Amino acid sequence: MSLLVDATVLFVGEINDKLSSVQDELLGRGSKVLNLACSDVSRDYINKQKVNLIVVNYLDERNICDTVLSHLKGEDLSTPIPVFALVADDTTEIQTVLTEGAADYITVNEDLEEIMQKIEAVVEGDTVFSGNSAIDITPIQADVSSKGIKVFAIEDDPLLRNLLSIRMDKSDFPYEFSVDGKDVLPAMKNFNPDVIILDLMLPGRSGFEVLEEIKSDSQLKDTPVIVFSNKDGVDDRRKAKELGANSFYVKAMTDLAELVETIEELVK
């Protein structure tokens, strides 16, 4: 069964040949496809239709759809909604939409199967994930009023934060993110998590340093820590275990459903 069965994908703006081929592929995999003009995008419509992904045509309607991303970032959506932008195959244009909040981008020359793989990775949320350079639209701090296991994640990769936030929402886990691990202990202690997820490769510092700080803190030292790594190295596994990590995941081989099971096991 396709990962996209029953997923709802909203296309915003003109439907050109590229987007039409994407729509046909989605329909063939059992998805629901919706179309909307840029001026008609609203929180109520997105929440009512239970949209899983939004695709905006910035290539043909940049002047009309220019404010869609900023508008969506300011809306109080019921769940985090990733946004893909169709853009020209131009580095500056791509960086612009990513900076404005797109989770990923599509170009007219991009292979259709590659596009579908990116869509599946974001929509499903339970699949094996890997890194991406995209910018996410999810909040650093989620609504923590829901009941569930509290998870604090230190992760600099925006796509992984998107996927994690979607999965945490599905599991009713209150969560909070740090994007770089700098001065992170006060935020963690204030949040008081049940489980910590820690990326070993962070901008400007090592995740091992953060792990040492966690295990040296009287309030946090007994909190289970799940380590994420880009590589499956024996030395990294050994060092993480010696410093007190409870579990070790290689990013490219991590299934989010399995990760949730591990989180639940660690707090029993």
Binned average pLDDT, 10 residues per bin, the chain of 268 residues: 82 95 95 93 88 90 74 60 87 76 82 86 52 37 58 86 83 90 92 95 88 96 92 83 92 80 90
Highest CATH level, class, for 8-124: alpha beta
CATH 3.40.50.2300 residue ranges for the chain: 8-124, 151-266
The CATH code belonging to domain 151-266 is 3.40.50.2300
For every residue of the chain, DSSP letters joined together read --TTTT-EEEEES---HHHHHHHHHHHHTT-EEEEE-GGG--HHHHHHHT-SEEEEEHHHHHHHHTTHHHHHHTS--SS---EEEE--S-HHHHHHHHHHT-SEEE-TTS-HHHHHHHHHHHHHSSSB-----PPP-S-SB--TTS-S--EEEE---HHHHHHHHHHHHHTT--EEEESS-TT-HHHHHHH--SEEEEESEETTEEHHHHHHHHHHSTTTTTS-EEEEESS--HHHHHHHHHTT-SEEEEGGG-BHHHHHHHHHHHT-
At 136 the pLDDT is 37
At 99 the pLDDT is 67
At 13 the pLDDT is 92
